[in-house]
A and B are shown apart, each in its own frame.
Chain A
Amino acid sequence: MKVQDRAAVTPEIAVPAPVARRRRRGRRAASFEPLLWMAPAIAVILFVFGYSLVDLFRSSLQDQGQWVGLENFKATISDPLFRTALLHNLRLLVVAVPVLVLLALLLSILLFETLRGWRFHRAVIFLPYILPIPVVAVVFGQILQLNGLLNQVLRAAGLDGLAIDWLGNPGWALWTMTGVIIWKELGFGVILLLARLLSMSAEPFEAARIDGAGFWQLHRRITAPLLKDIIAFYVVVEAITMVSWVFNYVYVMSNGQGGPGSSTMVTELYIYQTAFQFEAPQVAAAAAVILFAASLALIIVFFRLHRPEGAETS
């Protein structure tokens, strides 16, 4: 219902038409104001990313300057290696993200509940996150060799059967890499969730405890719902990481090969190899467009989840 109509049928709150117009104009100006402030940043983003995006789309439809339509997309999608890479990203998404969320939630609650030494424990958990990925990947690459530190420890403990070639066995390599990625990314989630927990009022927790809620009940019914927004944010950030930010891990741990065979190949590495090592930039562009679309879909999901309640009706 329009404002002037409402003014017409409810005389006790009726506002004279010129005043309503002034308010409307004021509201419109107010809604433009943030855009005005953001304009310089938007201009820079458009300049930096806009051109690249347009050029990327253009390249994906051409071959050596010739228009080829969707041929590059067909070539990309029909490539078993690309499909394998995409599947690996999907596997990382489906496996690593839930594990990360559950572990981050559990650890943040434990830190929240632990009174003594929680600052030290928080630092220990957060440390991997601030280590450079190449350093982490090189160190784990050494530790996880067949005769590396981990297997030496396992053998010393009489667990020879567990001493496998963690990165050299095609069946295990991606699982191993997933483990390293989880170890590295976990700290971010713990800090996010812990920060939210520490900023909450203690009242709901105390009330629940007085009502006799146990540990699991308390955190399942009170903590988890209160952390819903932060968890959603963490899920989307990690989902985007698994789809388009794992290049460094794979590149360093597999020496740029995505091997053994194609067992750790991911979409980013596929794009990099295709563009810079195999000199087929048009195919790489098509793969990059597909990856961009996947990332964009995840960002849209995030904004949908993050939309304030009632935003649809306002």
Chain B
Amino acid sequence: MKMKWLRGLVLLAVLTLAVAACGGGSSKSTQGGQQNLTFPTEPVQLEMWWWGEQEAAGAKNWVADTIRLYKQKHPNVTIKPVLQTTDGLVPSFKAAAAAKRGPDIQYFWGGIWSLEPAWADQIVPVSDYIPASELKHYLNAGEDTFDGKVWTAPWYTQPSFPVLYRKDVLAKAGVQPPATWTDLLAACDKLNAGGVTPVAGGIKDGWFGGWLYSLLGSQEVQSVQPVLQAVAGQKSFTDPELANWWIKLQEMRDHRCWNKDINSLELYQGQQYWSDGKAAMTMVAGSDMKKFVEQVGVDKVGVMTMPKWGAGPLAGKLGSTSQTLGITSWSKYPQVAADFIKFMHTPERTAAWFKTTGAFPADDRFDKQAITLPQQRQVFDLLLDGAPYLENYIPTELDSQANFAHSQLVLAGSEDAQKAAEATQNVANRIRITKRSIVKNFGAWAEQQS
């Protein structure tokens, strides 16, 4: 009787292995973590949920063209693109991940946005399907790397964030573009005296608080490691290197650097003051910079990084992050998804991307001769020597409840820098209780930065 059971079990195991080996109509082998799946010959349907038209106008046409060209190359592969809304991008994917059905290729912002789904086993590492010789050309892949694997593939870059200044407005007020922090505060005083808003922004929707954190908060840290350690509870957000940026924000407030109504405007409404010539400086998304420059006039616009106040190695550098694509863990054809991503990085496609959208492809093989706008060329050079984009290294809850909320309070004059730093630390303490996996994941992430 026992022997019959054993025989049955062995047979079942053999059958299971045989079915697994034959499954999907393509053969599979593993070499050093690299999945060697043969390209399927049967009809393949893939779905790609993406975002980006919102910050890189024209992306929709480029995606449609790329899918059409890929179909010409692989007639058996049909890819259905689904453009997501800003508010819908993350929740739609979460719902799909819970049901384990939905997109094969999913769009992610970099850093924490791509690693959270990795930690939740919702995506597979792209480095298992795209060779290292190819991946090394993808810009900012480091922020999507965990446990030695690259989890999502950079698509296009988001220079974060160039400071644009109006040469005409500054000249009229007799102010030079500020290079240092002291220059900036002096410029604020002088511009205010002349009735000009020094820097235009809008923080009603909160997001600008994350920008400010990255622009100011990166200036004194030695790397992203202390930030990750503070999230994991090994350091504190009240430590000077992590908290002093609040003082700088307070200084900007005290020197009336911002438009008075910054708290009741969304960012684009604030930026309008700059476009209208009522403000001297503003910050814009790098992918969107071309629009602002052309709107005002190429000769009238200068570009720079955030004036330096810190002595850290990231101070004075432009934040650099890439928007990425990942392959879902339930996709039947990850090798096809990976091949499509590689196709998006072919020289012809990256050139077409820039031509269509004006945003830089996240690929160091991109020929910068294609960039004709001087301001864009300057930003691309800054990008190649860019700094990690700090906002991508903290949990979204911390970003929202600390950076968004307390930047609003500091700028409204209801709170000082010290209280804002303490509040940030309190939020971090709380997140470690409500999201117990944070400590482990951020601890490991921090360790991998050394």
**Chain A residues with a Cβ under 8 A of chain B:** 63, 75, 79-81, 144-148, 165-171, 254-257, 259-262, 273-274, 276-280, 282-283
Stretch at the interface among B161-169, B187-195, B256-264: B256-264
Chain B contact residues, CB within 8 Å of chain A? 87, 90-91, 94, 116, 204-206, 260-266, 395-397, 400-401, 404-406, 408-409, 412, 414-415, 426, 430-431, 433-436
Q: Do most interface residues of chain B lie in helix, strand or loop, or is the interface mixed?
A: helix
Tell me which residues across on chain B come within 8 A of A147, comparing CB atoms: 261
Is there an interface contact between A260 and B434, defined as CB atoms closer than 8 Å? no
Known A255-B206, A278-B400, A280-B435; contact A261-B264, beta-carbon cutoff 8 A: no
Is the CB–CB distance between A146 and B400 below 8 Å?
no
Smallest beta-carbon distance B432→chain A, Å: 11
Contact A259 B405 (CB under 8 A): yes
Complex CA distance for A252 and B416, rounded to whole angstroms: 28
A79 to B264, CA, bound (A): 27
- Find the residue from B262, B395, B435 having the highest chain A CB count within 10 A: B435
A209 CB → nearest B CB, Å: 51
Cβ–Cβ contact B412 & A169, under 8 A: yes
| Apart from A146-B260, A257-B405, A277-B90: 8 A-B pairs, beta carbons within 8 A | A145-B261, A168-B261, A256-B206, A257-B205, A260-B408, A277-B400, A278-B396, A278-B435
Closest to A79 in B: B430
> CB distance A170 to B408 under 8 Å?
yes
Contacts of B263 in A (CB 8 A): 146, 165, 167-169, 260
Known A261-B405, A277-B400; judge A255-B205 contact (CB<8 A). Answer: yes
CB distance from B402 to the nearest CB of A (A): 11
Q: Is the CB of A257 within 8 A of B412?
A: no
Give A169 to B261 CA distance when docked, in angstroms: 9
Contact between chains at B91 and A276 (CB < 8 Å):
yes
Q: Which residue of A lies closest to B269 (CB)?
A: A145
CB distance from A163 to the nearest CB of B (A): 11
Q: Which residues of chain A are near B434, meaning CB under 8 Å?
A: 75, 274, 278, 280, 282-283
Select which of A167, A259, A283 is within 8 A of B404 by beta carbon.
Answer: A259
Given contacts A80-B426, A169-B263, contact A261 B94 (CB under 8 A): no
Q: Which 9 A-B pairs have the closest CB atoms?
A: A168-B263, A168-B264, A146-B261, A255-B205, A278-B397, A260-B408, A261-B409, A145-B264, A257-B206
Complexed CA–CA distance, A166 and B116 (Å): 38
Does A255 contact B204, Cβ atoms closer than 8 Å? yes
Task: Determine how close the nearest CB of chain B comes to the CB of A69; give it in whole angstroms.
Answer: 14
Known A-B contacts A146-B261, A259-B404, A277-B396; the reply to A170 vs B205 at CB < 8 A is no
CA distance A202 to B400 in the complex (A): 59
In the complex, are the beta carbons of A279 and B435 less than 8 A apart? yes
CA distance A144 to B412 in the complex (A): 16
Note all chain A residues with C-beta closer than 8 A to B400. Answer: 257, 273, 277-278
- Complexed CA–CA distance, A80 and B422 (Å): 13
Contact check, B409 vs A260: say whether CB atoms are below 8 A apart. Answer: yes
Instruction: State A277–B430 Cα separation when bound (angstroms).
Output: 16
Contact A256 B205 (CB under 8 A): yes
A170 & B264 in contact (Cβ 8 Å cutoff): no
| CB-based contact B401/A81 at 8 Å | yes
A216 to B263, CA, bound (A): 45
CB distance from A281 to the nearest CB of B (A): 10
Q: How far is the CA of A280 from the CA of B408 in the complex (A)?
A: 24
Q: Would you give the shortest CB distance from B436 to chain A, in whole angstroms?
A: 7
Least Cβ distance of A278 to chain B in Å? 4
B90 partner residues in chain A, CB cutoff 8 A = 277
Q: Separation in Å of the A71 CB from the closest CB of chain B?
A: 9
Provide the bound-state CA to CA distance between A168 and B263, in Å.
5
CB distance from B59 to the nearest CB of A (A): 24
Q: List 7 A-B contacts (CB under 8 A).
A: A165-B260, A170-B409, A257-B204, A260-B204, A260-B408, A276-B94, A278-B431
Q: Is the CB of A257 within 8 A of B264?
A: no
Of the candidates B395, B401, B412, B430, the one whose C-beta lies within 8 Å of that of A260 is B412
Q: Is the CB of B396 within 8 A of A261?
A: no
With A and B bound together, what is the CA distance between A259 and B265 in angstroms? 12
